Structure 1
């Protein structure tokens, strides 16, 4: 507040030292002219920090800072009750000089104001006096208590600095995360897709949410009931199919006989729900004829249809397929008793993408018109017509067509080659060499050929076909009694010698070692050879085991490289079986010849002095680091006489898991048992022959060969190693 006393120095008890009357300052040097307007700016700044009551009783001009709409400003009014002292309310009290005109006496080390700071202040300069405030240094507006920052202990900070001053925020409660609830629905569906159908159905019992997700159509785009068709009820299967609805693309209901009563009631509902099926399988499923027709009508995108063995499938169903399924590629109607080539002809004429036709035991393949339609399309890659009435003439029409142009030089028809890759003609008893010869030079892409149980076929038709099919991988010649070793010899020289993987010559009683040995030696890609009930002997087994053994060893566990079926072969004995087992468990020669490293024992200098010149240092064998285990890369899996099969299976199991020592022990014990068994029958019929076989077997396995492998001829199983002979094999 402004004081009523004259403009002079006012002494206030308890305040700072009095200030002398302000006199006119001396003029400044020429290089620094006095600033005449600085005094006015200084007074304006002093007036802004004055209190509110002084603004009401002021007798001087209003400063620019307070002039706003003719009303005083409250921008500098303190909101604290402590700021209003007695002097501020007009009561007498110890005044205090405020402003830059006083000398700074609060701190003795603080320098006084310079002359420039007091320039322009005259005698009439009015000095404003404020009453003594409780806190002289307070020049800011304090915050209310509820807005002041708190300390770490939750206490408010004091204004005078005596209290805690650390500012902290209130602890934020942790957010509770529901992992499954917050997960996007797309990720949930991807998790459910990893489960099997049985596990999905079990998970549907957890909650209603899981029930909705488990029966979402996204999880049932492919329904294959082959693994659980006997464990699911008809109602549950119908619910799964209807929930999948338009998402279902592959529907396999093979063996679902529980749907017999459901097809009649739910046929239309199921067909309305499933309209995007691409692959449809009903093999072995009892289905109503009307329901099947509904499905075929309302699924025009069908590419694969398997209805084999269904009596409800007829030529009417073939007509519906021809009209409604233009994208059909595979049709399997084998053992459908109500279907014949008349219905299949409509499918062949309408479905231009047809690549596979399986029509085993279907009547009418002697129809040359139907065969001519197949020749005209030439889109089939797989044709299965086993156990049909196909004849030589119809087969010629299938390969050559009607009246083909004949080359005068080669005497062969000039026709485009067929695209067939697999042809199954087994058990077609009407076929002879005249019809099968037409396959030669016309099937360059053929990979699988099945001619088993065609009793009229001989070498004259088989050899030309083998020589002109360079990509042949599967050859089935089972029960061709007229086949001889010439066919096998030509097979070992044919262009398919590098691609042949599966050979079946079972029950070809005229085949023996002279034909089978070239095949085993030249066909390096063989995986399966079925030669039961033939005249092969132990020599074939020995040669096959030696060739598999030459494929080397590796650190990984062995795998099956060749499967041999040799049961009911009269010339195969237990010695040949033992030869295969011994080679399967034979360790690498490098590990068998490994010897420990011999090193000299270290001595101290004192011991070396006590040693006489003739004394030699002691020699000890240091422990040799064990090398990594080596196993044969491939072994032979045998199917032999049923009395030996259990031992062979156990031996193969031990070799496959890498326990060669246990396998060798089993092999040795089995050989001892077999020899003791033969010796036990001395007094019976054929005793001399059994004793001779036993002695010969013992000689073969205990023969001390001169070109041993560094171990004195001792084999891995404790016996002698059999020496290879080029002059044949002695049959025991």
Structure 2
């Protein structure tokens, strides 16, 4: 076959990268038949349950915004499954009242957990009526701070929700004794009730709730009057269902009333122990702070009758002495929180001889003896040593000294393990508050800082680092250095923290020397100025000391008192 002639081939043909099909093979189609390829609608193809689950990750505020996209989104955003829990306390100030009422109206039948804390918009009677009409399946409700709620509206809301288990009416002025009567008649499942600071309520209303709600375990009635009534106290004794009782600020509470709550009226007495023969109380948490009429005669009735007690608060019951607390400490093996703030009659003997050797000593986690001006080293040293589970100790305005801080560092050192991983940040395992303790000096503070940043170098093993440090609140003139040191330790900058602690110690020592009279006064002052400048530089340093440093002209403002 003869070869083809290439002379008639154009340059455009040679430049083409692909060859076209022959005309007999190519079939032309009319433009009307050409259709655009449809994209796959992924959202519509998802099951309804999956789409609702996706919306469930949005917060209420985000759901409201997403509902404006289109009608389909609006339908999903107000699906009842997404509104079983409605907490408006985070965004109520940023949403119009009508929109909030619309949300409650749409989602009301599905809401089980409602929190309207501080929602002033809902207090209008029309919007409140919407709330009553829509919400009839509530299990828990919080109306804290809704001061202008109407009596009738509140009562209707309670009547229409007979499955309530948790009800918070703190500071609601509409709450009266008649409200408590409605609660006792319509809420048989109620377990938690908070009516603190309801100024139109007294203890007679509390009695109706205690008698009418057999499942009530948590009652909080701070600053409610009328607890001097023996009949009210007798109701508490006979039911014996409460596990948490908060009566802080109930200034009417007397020794006779508290004793009746624990012992009842005219109980049989054991001849050998001289203790009343009554069933033990189920109380686990008891708050009697600021009940100023209580004395030893009433408080010691708690002894040997509250074996399940875990938390006890007796702050500012200024008449109490060691006599009232000794039987309580000896008979509460599960006690973990003990607050004895502002009890001037408490002595070191109570702490060293009773608390340090009590059955609860290994479990005790929180202790507050602030403003107990008779407490000092001899009382708290045994407590710090024996109570190895302590997480916080408030000791401001007491007579403690540096020895307590040293013992605290030793206690933490003995109870925790160390890690060879220098990148594992430690946690604050013990918090100490030592404001206005005149006997605490900078050397005691430095002992805490030294432990927090301590790196142990073994002869044959790798260096180890602390896994638990001590958080310290001390005299305000030292707090800036303490906070800076703690921040470096929590960032695993142990070298920088140790350098700051060392420079601060040199500065404090030079400052003390500069204040002393005698020979070499000028030289000591010069050393103090140099240490002050070094300390100011060090506080501004970063990792490895290469961070931004403060100006030396500001060193005078960093003087540590």
Q: How far is 1:681 from its partner?
A: 3.4
Matched, 1:505 2:369: yes
Q: 2:410 aligns with which of 519, 523, 546?
A: 546
Match of 2:538 in 1: none
Q: Which residue of 2 aligns with 1:574?
A: 442
Q: Secondary structure at the match of 1:576?
A: helix
Q: Tell me if the contact between 1:553 and 1:588 (Cα under 8 Å) persists in the aligned partners.
A: no
1:211–1:654 CA distance, 2 compared to 1 (3 A)? same
Is 1:408 the counterpart of 2:268 in the alignment?
Answer: no
Correspondence 1:583 to 2:451: yes
1:323 aligns to 2:188 (yes or no): no
Q: Gaps spanning 5+ residues in structure 1: where? A: 1-152, 158-171, 596-626, 695-732
C-alpha deviation, 1:268, in angstroms: 2.8
Task: Give the 3 Å change call, closer, same or farther, for CA 266–491 of structure 1 in structure 2.
Answer: same
Give me the whole-angstrom Cα distance separating, in 1, the residues matched to 2:40 and 2:465: 53
Query: Which residue is equivalent to 1:383?
Result: 245
Q: List aligned pairs for 1:368-379, cutoff 5 A.
A: 368-379=230-241
Structure 1 CA distance for aligned equivalents of residues 22 and 437 of structure 2: 97
1:419 paired with 2:282, answer: yes
Cα distance in structure 2, aligned partners of 1:216 and 1:187: 13
**Separation of aligned partners in 2, 1:192 and 1:288:** 35
Structure 2 residue 178 is the aligned partner of structure 1 residue 303: no
Aligned to 1:640: 474
**Displacement of 1:201 after TM fit?**
1.9
What is the alpha-carbon distance in structure 2 between the residues aligned to residue 674 and residue 258 of structure 1? Answer: 56
Pairwise CA distance, 1:207: 2.1
Question: After the TM superposition, which residues 89-104 of structure 1 pair with which residues of structure 2 at under 5 Å, given as runs?
Answer: none
Question: Is 1:672 aligned with 2:506?
Answer: yes
Computed over aligned residues only, the root mean square deviation of the Cα atoms, in angstroms, reads 2.4
The correspondence for 1:681, drawn from 493, 496, 515, is: 515
Deviation (angstroms), 1:283:
0.8
Once residues 325 and 253 of structure 1 are traced to their aligned partners in structure 2, the CA distance between those partners, rounded to angstroms, is: 20
Q: Give yes or no for contact 2:291–2:316 (8 Å, CA) kept in 1.
A: yes
Q: Which residue of 2 aligns with 1:531?
A: 395
Matches within 5 A, 1:215-614: 215-261=78-124, 264-286=125-147, 287-388=149-250, 389-489=252-352, 490-550=354-414, 551-554=416-419, 555=421, 556-590=424-458, 593=459
Q: Deviations over 1:421-480 (max 9, x none)?
A: 011111111111111111111000000111111111101111111001000011011111
Q: Deviations over 1:574-609 (max 9, x none)?
A: 11111101110010232xx469xxxxxxxxxxxxxx
Partner Cα separation in structure 2 for residue 655 and residue 198 of structure 1? 38
C-alpha distance in 2, partners of 1:316/1:260? 20
CA offset at residue 236 of structure 1? 2.0
Instruction: Give the CA deviation at 1:175.
Output: 6.8
Which of 62, 67, 91 in structure 2 is aligned with 1:199?
62
Q: Distance in 2 between matches of 1:453 and 1:154?
A: 103
Q: CA deviation at 1:682?
A: 4.1
**Which has the larger helix fraction?**
2
Q: CA deviation at 1:252?
A: 0.6
Deviations 1:526-582, CA, capped at 9 Å, x for gaps: 000001111110111111112222323123321111000011000001111111011
Contact 2:388 2:411 in 1 (8 A): no
- Structure 1 length-normalised TM: 0.64
| Residue-by-residue CA offset, 1:488-539 (whole Å, 9 max, x unaligned) | 1110100001111000000111111111111111111100000111111011
**Partners of 1:303 and 1:397 in 2: CA distance:** 28
What is the TM-score when the length of structure 2 is the normalising length? 0.83
Aligned residues of 2:223 and 2:248 also touching (Cα < 8 A): yes
CA shift at 1:238, angstroms? 1.3
Query: Secondary structure at the residue paired with 1:495?
Result: coil
Higher Rg of the two aligned structures: 1
**Residues 356 and 382 of structure 2 are in contact (CA less than 8 Å); yes or no, is this contact kept in structure 1?**
yes
> Matched residue of 1:648: which SS?
helix
- Which of these residues, 53, 56, 67, is aligned with residue 190 of structure 1? 53
Given that 2:122 and 2:128 are in contact with CA atoms closer than 8 Å, whether structure 1 keeps it comes out as no
Q: SS of the residue aligned with 1:503?
A: strand
Q: Is the 8 A contact 1:557 1:631 kept in 2?
A: no
CA contact (8 A) 1:222 1:249 kept: yes
User: Equivalent residue of 1:481, what SS?
Assistant: coil
In 1, distance between residues paired with 2:146 and 2:503? 51
Q: Distance in 1 between matches of 2:76 and 2:403?
A: 63
Structure 1 residues 672 and 411: CA distance shift in structure 2, 3 A: same
2: distance between equivalents of 1:518 and 1:350?
47
**Cα distance in 2, alignment partners of residues 180 and 566 from structure 1:** 60
DSSP-derived class of the 1:498 partner: coil
